[in-house]
C-alpha cells in the first residue's frame, strides 16, 4: 500500500539543511535562533508546504507541518525531531527524524490511502542545550515545564534571555500559555532518530525500537580552593581546586560503572579552570556533570552517593564544593501498544530490528508526558554522534522511514491505543 521511502529524498533534504552551518570547516553547528538555524527553519517550512502540509509555529518556535486526516477534529498523531545541533556536530542527529517524518508523510499522501487522524511532523525548538544550557526547550514547554517566567531567567553566554530573543524574532509571547499540550490532545507520537551508539551496527541490524529513553540530571559544580604559587606552595599546604575536581570526576566515573541499572552514564564535559595558568595552583574550577539513567531511582541513589563523596573530598582537601542543579529529568518508558505496532511494521516490511534503550535523551522524553510515545532508531556508524564524524547511511534512514510511515498510518486509523 505504501511505497518504499526514497533514500535520495532524505539525502537531498539532509544535505541542504547541512548547508545552514556556522562551522562548515569543522562539522555542523546550528545553534538556536542564530542565522543558519533561522534559515534552516525557513527551508524546512518551505519544504513542508511543497509536500502539501499546513504549517504553523507556536510561541517558542516549535514548527508543525500537518497532513490533514479525514477527521481533523480527532487528536493527531505526531512525529518529528529537531534541527539545532551541538557545537561541531554531524548532520544527522535530529535532522534524520525531521526529514524522515517529512518523507513518511509524503509516502502516506502519495499512497492516496484514507486515514482518520491528522498526522503532524514537528520540529521541536532547541533539543540541544547549546545556547541556553537547558535541553528540549520546545518539548519541555509543551509538557508545561518551561513557563514564560522561566524564559526570562534562561540566559545565553552573552547574557541575552530566551524571552528577549523570542520577542526580537516576533514570537507572540501573549500566546505562550497556549504551548502546553493537555493529555488527550495528541493521540500518539513516534520519533525517528539516529542511534548514537554502536549496538545496531554490531548486530548488523538496520532498525532499533526504543523501549526506554534515559533522562539527564545536570549540575554545574563550583570548586573553590586557594589560588597560589605553583612552586612556592608545598604539596601538603595546597588547596588545589583542579585536583579536587579531578577526584570528583573519577569518583563519578566509578559510581557510574558500579551502578546497577540496565543503562546509565556520567560525564564531565565542560571544565573551566581559574586562572588557567601554567605556574598557578587553580583557585577555582567550574565544571559540568551530566548523569543519565534509564531508571530515576538508581540515578537518585548515585547522586546521593556522589554528594557524600564530595563532602569527604571537601574535608580532605580543604576546598568548598557548590553543586548547582540545572535539571533533574525523568526517564521515559515507551508505550507498549506503539512498541507492538512498530514491531509488526518491521515484520511486515521484512526489516530486522532490535528492542533497545536510548542513552541519549530526545524530545520524546517530554512529549511522553502528555501522550504515549515510542522511537525508531537507525544505526550510527561506529556509534559516533555529537561529532563531525557522525554518519548514518541514507538507505538505513529510508528503512527506518518505512517502519515509521506504516506505523503512523496505523495509528492514524486507530480509535484507541
**Numbered residues of the known binding site for Zn(2+):** 82, 93, 128, 193, 386
Does 128 bind ligand GLV (CB under 6 A)? Our answer is yes
Does 93 bind Mn ion (CB under 5 A)? Our answer is yes
* CA-based max dimension of the chain: 80
Look up residue 65 and give its three cell numbers. 507541518
Q: Which of the listed partners (Mn ion, ligand GLV, none) does 206 bind, with a CB threshold of 5 to 8 Å by partner kind?
A: none
Cα atoms found within 13 Å of the Cα of residue 314, Cβ hemisphere only? 14
Pick 118 or 358: Cβ nearer Mn ion: 358
Residues 6 or more apart whose Cβ sits within 8 Å of residue 62: 122, 123, 124, 125, 138, 139, 141, 142, 179
Q: What does the alpha-carbon distance between residue 237 and residue 233 come to, in Å, rounded to a whole number?
A: 6
The answer to whether the beta carbons of residues 66 and 112 sit under 8 Å apart is no
Does 410 bind ligand GLV (CB under 6 A)? Our answer is no
Pick 64 or 124: Cβ nearer ligand GLV: 124
Does 115 bind ligand GLV (CB under 6 A)? Our answer is no
Look up residue 237 and give its three cell numbers. 599546604
SS3 sequence of 255-298: HHHHCCCCCEEEECCCEEEECCCCCEECCEEEEEEEEEECCHHH
Using DSSP bridges, classify how beta strands 373-378 and 188-194 pair: parallel, antiparallel or unpaired: parallel
Q: How far is the CB of 86 from Mn ion (least distance, A)?
A: 6
Q: How far is the CB of 269 from Mn ion (least distance, A)?
A: 12
Picking from 208, 217, 205, 242, the residue whose alpha carbon sits closest to that of residue 227 is: 242
Pick 36 or 94: Cβ nearer ligand GLV: 94
Question: Quick one: which segment of 89-97, 151-159, 304-312, 341-349 binds Mn ion (CB under 5 A)?
Answer: 89-97
Residues 6 or more apart whose Cβ sits within 8 Å of residue 267: 289, 290, 291
Q: What does the alpha-carbon distance between residue 259 and residue 52 come to, in Å, rounded to a whole number?
A: 49
Q: How far is the CB of 96 from ligand GLV (least distance, A)?
A: 13
Report the residue number whose CB is nearest to ligand GLV. Answer: 360
Does 132 bind ligand GLV (CB under 6 A)? Our answer is no
Does 94 bind Mn ion (CB under 5 A)? Our answer is yes
The answer to whether the beta carbons of residues 297 and 219 sit under 8 Å apart is no
Q: Which of the listed partners (Mn ion, ligand GLV, none) does 179 bind, with a CB threshold of 5 to 8 Å by partner kind?
A: none
Does 360 bind ligand GLV (CB under 6 A)? Our answer is yes
Q: Output the CA–CA distances (angstroms, integers) from residue 289 to 1, 147, 318, in the order listed.
A: 48, 25, 21
Please identify which residue in 361, 366, 377, 394 interacts with ligand GLV, judged by CB under 6 A: 361
Pick 244 or 373: Cβ nearer ligand GLV: 373
Q: Which of the listed partners (Mn ion, ligand GLV, none) does 181 bind, with a CB threshold of 5 to 8 Å by partner kind?
A: none
Pick 38 or 87: Cβ nearer ligand GLV: 87
Residues 6 or more apart whose Cβ sits within 8 Å of residue 388: 26, 27, 28, 88, 89, 90
Q: Which of the listed partners (ligand GLV, Mn ion, none) does 361 bind, with a CB threshold of 5 to 8 Å by partner kind?
A: ligand GLV
Which positions make up the binding site? 82, 93, 128, 193, 386
Q: What does the alpha-carbon distance between residue 208 and residue 206 come to, in Å, rounded to a whole number?
A: 7
Q: How far is the CB of 192 from Mn ion (least distance, A)?
A: 11
Does 120 bind ligand GLV (CB under 6 A)? Our answer is no
Q: How far is the CB of 128 from ligand GLV (least distance, A)?
A: 5
Pick 327 or 344: Cβ nearer ligand GLV: 327
- What is the binding site for ligand GLV (CB under 6 A)? 128, 360-361
- What is the binding site for Mn ion (CB under 5 A)? 93-94
Amino acid at each position: 500500500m505504501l511505497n518504499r521511502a526514497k533514500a535520495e529524498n532524505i539525502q537531498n533534504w539532509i544535505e541542504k539543511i547541512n548547508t545552514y552551518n556556522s562551522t562548515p570547516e569543522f562539522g555542523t553547528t546550528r545553534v538556536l535562533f542564530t542565522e543558519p538555524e533561522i534559515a534552516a527553519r525557513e527551508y524546512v517550512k518551505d519544504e513542508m508546504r511543497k509536500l502539501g502540509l499546513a504549517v504553523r509555529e507556536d510561541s517558542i518556535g516549535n514548527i508543525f507541518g500537518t497532513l490533514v486526516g479525514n477527521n481533523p477534529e480527532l487528536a493527531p498523531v505526531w512525529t518529528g525531531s529537531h534541527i539545532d545541533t551541538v557545537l561541531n556536530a554531524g548532520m544527522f542527529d535530529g535532522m534524520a527524524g525531521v526529514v524522515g517524518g517529512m518523507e513518511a508523510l509524503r509516502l502516506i499522501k502519495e499512497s492516496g490511502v484514507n486515514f482518520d487522524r491528522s498526522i503532524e511532523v514537528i520540529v521541536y525548538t532547541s533539543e540541544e542545550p547549546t545556547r541556553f544550557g537547558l535541553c528540549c526547550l520546545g518539548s519541555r514547554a509543551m509538557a508545561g515545564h518551561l513557563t514564560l517566567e522561566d524564559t526570562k531567567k534562561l540566559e545565553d553566554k552573552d547574557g541575552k534571555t530566551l524571552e528577549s530573543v523570542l520577542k526580537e524574532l516576533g514570537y507572540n509571547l501573549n500566546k505562550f500559555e497556549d504551548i502546553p499540550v493537555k493529555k488527550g490532545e495528541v493521540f500518539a507520537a513516534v520519533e525517528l532518530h539516529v542511534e548514537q551508539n554502536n549496538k545496531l551496527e554490531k548486530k548488523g541490524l538496520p532498525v532499533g525500537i526504543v523501549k526506554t529513553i534515559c533522562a539527564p540530571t545536570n549540575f554545574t559544580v563550583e570548586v573553590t580552593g586557594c589560588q597560589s604559587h605553583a612552586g612556592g606552595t608545598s604539596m601538603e599546604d595546597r588547596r588545589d581546586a583542579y585536583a579536587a575536581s579531578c577526584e570528583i570526576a573519577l569518583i563519578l566515573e566509578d559510581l557510574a560503572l558500579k551502578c546497577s541499572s540496565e543503562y546509565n552514564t556520567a560525564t564531565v564535559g565542560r571544565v573551566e579552570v581559574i586562572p588557567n595558568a601554567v605556574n598557578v595552583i587553580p583557585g577555582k574550577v567550574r565544571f559540568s556533570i551530566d548523569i543519565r539513567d534509564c531508571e530515576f531511582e538508581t540515578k537518585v541513589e548515585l547522586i546521593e552517593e556522589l554528594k557524600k563523596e564530595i563532602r569527604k573530598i571537601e574535608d580532605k582537601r580543604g576546598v568548598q564544593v557548590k553543586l548547582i542543579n540545572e535539571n533533574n529529568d525523568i526517564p521515559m518508558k515507551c508505550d507498549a501498544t506503539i512498541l507492538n505496532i512498530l514491531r509488526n511494521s518491521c515484520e511486515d516490511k521484512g526489516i530486522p530490528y532490535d528492542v533497545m534503550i536510548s542513552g541519549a535523551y530526545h524530545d520524546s522524553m517530554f512529549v511522553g508526558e502528555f501522550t504515549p510515545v515510542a522511537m525508531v532508531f537507525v544505526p550510527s556508524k561506529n556509534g559516533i554522534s555529537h561529532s563531525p564524524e557522525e554518519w548514518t547511511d541514507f538507505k538505513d534512514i529510508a528503512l527506518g522511514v518505512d517502519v515509521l510511515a506504516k506505523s503512523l498510518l496505523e495509528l492514524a486509523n486507530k480509535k484507541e491505543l
